[in-house]
Amino acid sequence: MTKRTLFTYFSSSSNTSGTPTSGTDGGINQPKRTRLEFRQSDIIGDPGNRKPIEDYPYEIRDEVKRAYALCGPTQPVNHTFPRKWQSGECRSFQQTWFHEFDWLEYSVSKDAAYCLYCFLFFDRGKSEKFGSSVFAKQGYVNWKKTKEAFAHHSSCKTHANARLSCDDFMNQRTSVATKLNKYSKEEEKRYEIRLTSSLDVARFLIMQGDAFCRHDESSTSLNKGTFREFVDWYKDKVEVAKDAYDNGSKNCQMLSNHIQKDLTKACAEEVMVVAMDEIRGRKFSVLIDESRDVSIKEQMTMILRFVNDEGKVLERFVGIQHIERCTAVALKEAMVSMLCSHKLSISMLRGQGYDGASNMRGEFNGVQKLIRDENPYAFYVHCFAHQLQLVVVTVSTSTPAIADFFNYVPLIVNTVGASCIRKDALLARQHDMLLEKVENGEILTGRGLNQKSSLARPGDTRWGSHLKTLLRILVMWEAIIDVLEIVKKNYIKPTCNGGAFGLIGKMESFDFVFIMHLMIELLSITDILSRALQRKDQDIVETMHLIIGVKDSLQDMRDNG
């Protein structure tokens, strides 16, 4: 296969028919259709589990072929190939065959050999020779005289045609569109400038984490989105870029929302290649969490952790994959598929880190058990931060007084911040009190001290947010009481003042003040421990010392009443 570059993804011949396309200036307004896409996470690494190319919708088949061709053949590294009895001997697939046949793929699930080129471009309408259909679909499983069979397949005409078709497909300059449309060197140079400019803008926005487009990107829009506005700004600054966009092909401006997505995907895939090259050949651990996206679909996020040559622990984000069922089997299959898509073998897995969900940590049917059935060295560790959080939640809610205290904290925050008027009054009152305390010498001044702040709502799943809320209430105590007094006076009906009268009485009670100081002390200790447990350079010995130290601190608090 030809060497991959970013220009492989995009060619000036990709849209040269003269038909206006959506997203370019001068395009014809047509009803929008949902665009089918094939993402990197959709790649199935194991060739035995892939569906044939012809089963994909016609409009995305080229994307599927390009994605698999760029990914290359699946060749597991350091995998223990199973042995089975064949023709009077125990035989197995050999790792060295990958070095002799660059088209060769291996399926871990089916213990079979495949051909990447035949999978992508095998013509099933023609007569089969030397097992081309077997290498494309069924899989080759007879390990007797295997090298001779592979050599025959390499020299057969169907395989040669499939390989030639793949090379032509990846080399855009040999495509039919390029041969039929001869562009001048000047036009080709303009196209390269447009592509480079759009790519530079995309890389900058990705680095900043900014949104690309808006709902209306037409030429008459007052705000066409960050991407197009940035390109327009760049055109005004650079005369060469302005000429390339204004005098170049109007049907290949490299500005449409589809091109923006493709540029982003290309950058992501290039970054992923570099990250996977760092990991490949090393033992690693996985960190996995599951959640729902905005469309209420289950998705799984995976991060790999490994040690580089310098002895540093590094983490690399692998990707996010949607899953149909949030079961242990489905999660395990999704995890193995993501690893195989990056040519990583599960045999190199040495650690699993999940939250405390039963489908992840289950001792009999959880993901960690299913993985350990295949690789007993992949030890499972329940996330220390999650364990600490569960302990804090259990202890805090086991006492009725503390549970009641945390029921009142959100009411105070919501009542004081229910409107902009109340928020402004809170900030103004806090500002006046800070000035008064500074004049009386009650507080110190200096860089970073006495910053303007507001109340923060506590989160249900992160108890570090509860500490932040309690500290804000403690600092702004007098201002909060004053705002609640204003609310009580301005609204006669109890239903309108949000229970301000009852909240004032609750805050001024001894139990509330005592519990607040107690929980600030407790949560401060656990917050320090939680941050320490999440350090990348943390080791298990130091972690145990930290846990013992926290236990001693809590014991002292209990002994001292």
Element (H, E) at 278: helix 257-279
Asked if 476 and 426 touch (Cβ cutoff 8 Å), the reply is yes
Q: What is the mean pLDDT of residues 367-393?
A: 83
Q: Which of 15-29, 47-61, 203-217 has the lowest mean pLDDT?
A: 15-29
- 3-class DSSP state for residue 291? strand
For residue 308, the 8-state DSSP code is -
* pLDDT at 420 (0 to 100): 85
- Strand spans (E) along 230-344: 284-292, 298-307, 313-322
SS3 for 472-489 is HHHHCHHHHHHHHHHHHH
Q: Distance between CA 544 and CA 533 in Å, rounded?
A: 10
Q: Report whether pLDDT(417) > 60.
A: yes
Residue with tokens 């969900």, as numbered in its chain: 357
Hey, what's the torsion of the CAs at 12, 17, 18, 20, to 10 degrees? -90
* pLDDT at 284 (0 to 100): 92
Tokens, residue 496: 């309108």
Q: Report whether pLDDT(490) > 50.
A: yes
> How far is Cα of residue 516 from the mean position of the Cα atoms in its chain?
38
* pLDDT at 184 (0 to 100): 75
Q: Which of 21-35, 118-132, 431-445, 517-531 has the lowest mean pLDDT?
A: 21-35
Dump pLDDT digits (tens) for 381-399.
Answer: 887 777 777 777 777 777 8
Asked if 452 and 427 touch (Cβ cutoff 8 Å), the reply is yes
* pLDDT at 492 (0 to 100): 60
Residues facing 289 on adjacent strands: 301
Kindly state the percentage of the chain with pLDDT values over 70. Answer: 81
* pLDDT at 251 (0 to 100): 79
* pLDDT at 26 (0 to 100): 40
* pLDDT at 28 (0 to 100): 42
Is residue 393 exposed (0-12), middle (13-18) or buried (19+ Cβ within 10 Å)? middle
First to last CA, the chain: 73
For residue 60, the 8-state DSSP code is G
Q: Which of 254-263, 346-355, 448-457 has the lowest mean pLDDT?
A: 448-457
Q: Report whether pLDDT(41) > 80.
A: no
Kindly state the percentage of the chain with pLDDT values over 90. Answer: 10
Q: Report whether pLDDT(176) > 70.
A: no
Q: Report whether pLDDT(180) > 50.
A: no
Dump pLDDT digits (tens) for 43-53.
Answer: 888 888 888 88
Q: Report whether pLDDT(104) > 90.
A: yes
Asked if 287 and 349 touch (Cβ cutoff 8 Å), the reply is no
Dump pLDDT digits (tens) for 286-341.
Answer: 988 877 777 777 888 888 989 888 888 888 888 888 777 778 888 888 888 888 88
pLDDT confidence tier of residue 540, bands split at 50, 70 and 90: low
pLDDT confidence tier of residue 354, bands split at 50, 70 and 90: confident
User: Which has the higher per-residue pLDDT, 232 or 556?
Assistant: 232
Sign of the Cα torsion 322, 327, 333, 336 reads positive
* pLDDT at 125 (0 to 100): 58
